[in-house]
Structure 1
Amino acid sequence: MSLDPEIRDNEDAKRYELDVDGETAVVIYNPVAGGRLITETLVPIPLEGRGIASRMAKHVLTDLKDKGLLILPTCPFFSSYLKKHPEYADQVHPTYRAMLGL
């Protein structure tokens, strides 16, 4: 899967960002050894229900795979997304994989 050209990794702010209709959706992370701890996904109310969070999740997962990094999901949305998409299980840190039942 290719990266979404509209989503950027703002490393200084430690978040992925997507601007849509004057609003910014974000996925917030903390860098950790060998991966990224995904702590929060925030989609502004005017953008809800448009698949923005899923679009960002796909991008983040692709980006981290390309970088050889594992995901450590503490964000409820990412945890739910990964349970619905077990094809990404190999990208989840083993401890979190067990916690999510992947």
Structure 2
Amino acid sequence: MKPELQDLPLLDNSGSHRFELTVNHATAFMEYGDRPEAIALFHTEVPPQLEGQGVGSALVEKVLTEVERRQRQLIPLCPFVTSYLKRHPEWQRLVAPGYQRWFQPTASR
């Protein structure tokens, strides 16, 4: 994560079911749903003026840190989150068992 994004707070806007990260007066967000043992991540959106600056990746990392802090499992339904998890396998430990297969290498025949 870029140093300038590291200290920015992650807001849990529970009324809207969104995690939010505000950078330079613009807000990137990730929509989520609470499940009994897990948090499902549905959609990530980064405003056009913040694209290409690492804001989306910082948002994902902050959300994953929060999921871990809450001792919950992760249901990664958002393609951006799934892509991040494939690039950062150290976070795959949070993925709920039923979704682990998305991150397993394909067996060669």
TM-score exceeds 0.5: yes
Q: Which residue does the alignment assign to 1:62?
A: 65
Give TM-score scaled by structure 2 length: 0.85
Secondary structure in 1 matching 2:92: helix
Q: What is the DSSP-based 3-state SS (H/G/I as helix, E as strand, rest coil) of the residue aligned with 1:36?
A: strand
Q: 2:99 aligns to what SS in structure 1?
A: helix
Cross-structure match for 2:82: 79
Unaligned runs of 5+ in 2: 1-5
Q: Structure 1: how far apart are the matches of 2:15 and 2:60?
A: 20
2:28 aligned partner: 25
Unaligned runs of 5+ in 1: none
Kindly report which structure 2 residues correspond to 1:5-44, keeping only aligned pairs within 5 A, or say none.
5-44=8-47
Secondary structure in 2 matching 1:62:
helix
The equivalent residue for 2:3 is none
Q: Which structure has the larger Rg?
A: 2
Please report the TM-score for the alignment, with normalisation by the length of structure 1: 0.90
Q: Does 1:47 align with 2:50?
A: yes
In structure 2, C-alpha distance between the alignment counterparts of 1:33 and 1:101, rounded to whole Å? 25
Q: How many residues align?
A: 100
- Shift of residue 46 of structure 1? 0.7
Post-superposition offset of 1:99 = 2.1
* Structure 1 residue 33 displacement after superposition: 1.5
Instruction: Decide whether aligned partners of structure 1 residues 79 and 50 sit closer, same or farther in structure 2, where only a CA change above 3 A counts.
Output: same
Identity %: 35
Call closer, same or farther: CA 1:4–1:70 in 2, change over 3 Å.
farther
